[in-house]
Amino acid sequence: MQSCMRRVRFCYGHRLHNYQGKCATLHGHNAVVEVHAISSDRSRPGLDEHGMVIDFSVLKNTVGEWIDTHWDHTVILSAEDTETIALVKQCPGEKAPFILDANPTAENLAHHLLWSVCPELLRGSGVLVHKVIFWETENCFAEESLDLASDAVKRLFERNEGRGEKR
């Protein structure tokens, strides 16, 4: 299996709701996300006619643009953190906070990208993101990968296979 990876850098703020420790305080990070993609077109596994899984610029212009629009220079908060949400909404700025259904840990942000954002953005492309590595700092990261043999991933392949624009 051949795969490719695009790195996306961005800045964001967050805090962990109902957490005992310094991450309960609103703070920021310079994050790096690595998005790993494979072909999801079982009739043409591997590389396309140009010798690529996907053009790196497509990952930049889809996943990178989504991150820039929704997470870069934004505060990411848990939906349960209503007091902080109300406080941040009062601050001047161009972007509203991004509200996540879970605490905005590196693990949950990687999960959100892998299971919610990337499948929607790349639907019909013949490409599937199979792994996301979320670097919260230069020393700490969370990684989430798809189990390519699982029924849930098979459904992602079926949704993405053979529809819309080809890679």
Active site residues: 23, 73, 136
H or E segment to which residue 12 belongs = strand 4-14
C-alpha span between 19 and 21 (Å, rounded): 6
Amino acid code (one letter) for 23: C
C-alpha span between 148 and 43 (Å, rounded): 16
Angle CA 104–108–24, to nearest 5: 30
